Chains A and B, each alone.
Chain A
Amino acid sequence: MRHAVRALHSCVLRRLQVQVQLDLPLKASVTPVTRWCRRMFSDEAHATHLDRGEVVARVLDVVKTHPKADPTKVTESASFQDVGLDSLDTVELVMSIEEEFAVAIPDAEADKISSCPEAIEYIASHPSAK
């Protein structure tokens, strides 16, 4: 019984054919790397700047949730001193912004950020802000 099944099995498999379709273009072609076959590993290397509205919203959120900031005074053009922060609080706030957007700001640049528009400008022009 088992031999018969096995014989039938191999007969069927020998007879079955799968048609192979070749989709290659007929002409000699050197195509540029098309989108469907490019894998997105190098997104960090490509500049993927964030949308400016989103940057503004997130930066202002970070400023508002600082414990010493006054949320009513936080606007897009406010400086951190207007909001009620002193220089050490500004340092803490810039660190929070770094963590929010997963960027690494060098110390010299971070010292210059002392207002909301400067922070927004820096993040919006950073190529790998997430």
Chain B
Amino acid sequence: MSAAAIAERRFLQQQRCRILYRKALKSVLDWAVHRDIFYIEGEKTRLQFEANRDVQNLETIDRLLFEGEARLAKLQHPDPYVVPWSPGGSKYARNPPVPPVIGLVNDFGRESSH
């Protein structure tokens, strides 16, 4: 494989690793709501990633990423936290803005008196 293809593959693997870490931390945060517990568990997750920091073989990295994603899929929370006003949250589009066409009629029924 050419050097550019190898570099691109490594870049994609690094991106996959970052997204896996992000999802893992969010999953830990869903389970460990209390912050002091989250700090401890988040640190453990970080150590799991740090243990494989120096792996260079592309195939090994791919295998580790697949295994990590499979393990994470089992640990998903059934009711994850979403920011309420973000898409998927309970307050998303709850009170959409009133279109400016809508106005108040103050003399309904008495127009004939004018």
Contacts and interface: CB of A to CB of B under 8 A. Distances in A.
Partners in one complex: yes
Interface residues of A, number: 33
Given A27-B114, A92-B25, A104-B82, A32 B106 contact: no
B66 interface: no
A30 B103 contact: yes
A88 B104 contact: no
Contacts of A34: 104
A28 B111 contact: yes
Nearest to A46: B97
Contact of B18 (A28, A31, A91, A102): A91
Nearest to A130: B85
B95 interface: yes
Interface stretch (A37-45, A69-77, A117-125): A37-45
Given A31-B103, A45-B96, A88-B46, A107 B91 contact: no
B79 interface: no
Contacts of B95: 41-42, 44-45
B31 interface: no
A50 interface: no
B14 A87 contact: yes
Interface string B41-64: 010001001100000000000000
Contacts of B25: 91-92, 95
Interface of B: 14-15, 17-19, 21-23, 25-26, 42, 46, 49-50, 82-83, 85-87, 89, 91, 93-98, 100, 102-107, 111, 114
